[in-house]
Amino acid sequence: LRIAMLSVHSSPMGELGTKDTGGMSVYVRELARELGNRGHRVDIYTRLNGSRHKQIAQINDKVRLIHLRAGKNGQMNKLDLYGHLDDFFRELEKFRTRESLHYDLVHSHYWLSGRVGKWAQESWTIPHVFMFHTVGAVKNSTVGSEKEPELRTVTEKHLARSCDRILVATDKERDHLIQHYGASPQMIGVVPCGVNLDLFSPRDKAKARQELGFAQDESIVLFVGRFAPLKGIDRLMEAMCHLQHHQRLRLIIVGGDGRDAPEFQTLQKLARNFGIQEGVTFVGRIEQDNLPAYYSAANVLVVPSYYESFGLVALEALASGTPVVATKVGAMESILKAGTTGHVVSNGSPLLLAKGIEKFISGSNGLSAHELRASVLRFSWSNVASAMIDQYAAVLRQWDFPTCCCGTVSMG
């Protein structure tokens, strides 16, 4: 297959853990790489944002990352970028014509790319596969989330009804799209996200701590992710407040845009207000290749989010042999087995989070690191790519012979 993949606002090779770069970038990069390994040709188009980039970066033999200019070269907020999407598509057309490229399908990620995907679908007469990653209408009904503009929800609703197939990572997201945007259930395929099982694997906890300079006699609670309000770091801090009777307990926070960023200042202030600042360490964003040591060093990873479309960090922790305590978001209920691989807190209250964390900081939870890892082996990127190829095949069949076909792909 020749696939045009669109990830306009966030580069798959961007700095993970910063404002607009997280799970979606990992998803695009890993999926494309795996499709390339199987002989499919993938061109990923993203907006030029920085001076260090060559126009074309080769990710592997068959996968290219192509930077196109849209508006200024530099940080741009998403709403401003919306006004430059037509420039992006014009540049894409110029590039495609110059290189005489023809694609079998366009696969777009997030609503901004979805809009460009729609133009590609119309002018190239090929199917458009769309992934929301997060859903504006759901964010708007979530406490603690920044409100999304009507432009986004209106665009998403239109995309839900005009693309050829919607792919989601969980049944929950499928239900949201039916409920909020009137998406047709037959149009939606469910393909869970994946984890790099070669990178994330169990390591010796003591060695990992030594390597990172962490104390051997502390219990470590880990958070990994962007510093967005919906990540719920505030309620994790409040939960830590409830655990102050535990001696030698530390919260390690990975991610963020650096010490000058307002989000960092806010969290630091919050830690002070809760009186837990001595037990909190901010380590900044960490290159993904260096993250496995953090997961191995921790007693437990916490995903305290108000909203998550999937929650890749939970898979990464489990693949590294570390249990997870999470709120009831994204794929947590299907990934975590209560009381063994983790704990899902029903209403997300800081007190319940604290009780969940407590189960895993006071000694062993009974499962070995290898048993924890075994619980997520089915989420390899290879399985994700196989499921995705089935979805592509279905949409291409449907394009040629429009009949009804739906798809929930099992990765069991």
Binding site for ligand UDP (CB under 6 A): 16-17, 22-24, 26, 224-226, 254-255, 285-286, 288, 291, 310-313, 316
Minimum Å gap between C-beta 44 and ligand UDP is 17
Residue type, 387: A
| 191 token code pair | 């393909």
Minimum Å gap between C-beta 17 and ligand UDP is 3
Helix (H, G, I), strand (E, B), or coil: what is residue 213? coil
Structural contact between residues 348 and 232, judged by C-beta atoms closer than 8 angstroms: yes
**Cβ count within 10 A of residue 114:** 28
Give the nearer residue to ligand UDP in terms of CB position, either 107 or 139.
Answer: 139
Minimum Å gap between C-beta 398 and ligand UDP is 29
Give the nearer residue to ligand UDP in terms of CB position, either 55 or 265.
Answer: 265
Minimum Å gap between C-beta 66 and ligand UDP is 23
Give the nearer residue to ligand UDP in terms of CB position, either 181 or 310.
Answer: 310
Helix (H, G, I), strand (E, B), or coil: what is residue 88? helix
Give the nearer residue to ligand UDP in terms of CB position, either 148 or 316.
Answer: 316
Q: Which residues of 137-168 are buried (b: 16+ CB within 10 A; e: fewer)?
A: bbbbebebbeebeeebbebbbebbeebbbbbb
Give the nearer residue to ligand UDP in terms of CB position, either 225 or 279.
Answer: 225
Minimum Å gap between C-beta 409 and ligand UDP is 19
* DSSP run (H or E) holding 233: helix 233-242
Give the nearer residue to ligand UDP in terms of CB position, either 22 or 136.
Answer: 22
Give the nearer residue to ligand UDP in terms of CB position, either 4 or 224.
Answer: 224
Residues 6+ apart with CB under 8 A from 135: 156, 173, 176, 177, 180, 181, 309
Residue of closest CB approach to ligand UDP = 22
| Residue closest to 10 by CA, chosen among 75, 63, 93, 64 | 75
Minimum Å gap between C-beta 13 and ligand UDP is 12
| Residue closest to 108 by CA, chosen among 91, 127, 130, 125 | 130
CA distance 133 to 89: 21
Give the nearer residue to ligand UDP in terms of CB position, either 92 or 131.
Answer: 131
Give the nearer residue to ligand UDP in terms of CB position, either 22 or 407.
Answer: 22
Minimum Å gap between C-beta 85 and ligand UDP is 22
Burial of residue 2 (number of CB atoms within 10 Å: 0-12, 13-18, 19+): middle
Burial of residue 212 (number of CB atoms within 10 Å: 0-12, 13-18, 19+): middle
Minimum Å gap between C-beta 3 and ligand UDP is 22
CA distance 405 to 411: 19
Q: Which residues of 354-391 are buried (b: 16+ CB within 10 A; e: fewer)?
A: bbbbbebbeeebebebeebbebbeebbbebbbbbbeeb
Minimum Å gap between C-beta 288 and ligand UDP is 3
Give the nearer residue to ligand UDP in terms of CB position, either 21 or 121.
Answer: 21
Residue with tokens 């984890």: 195
Minimum Å gap between C-beta 284 and ligand UDP is 7
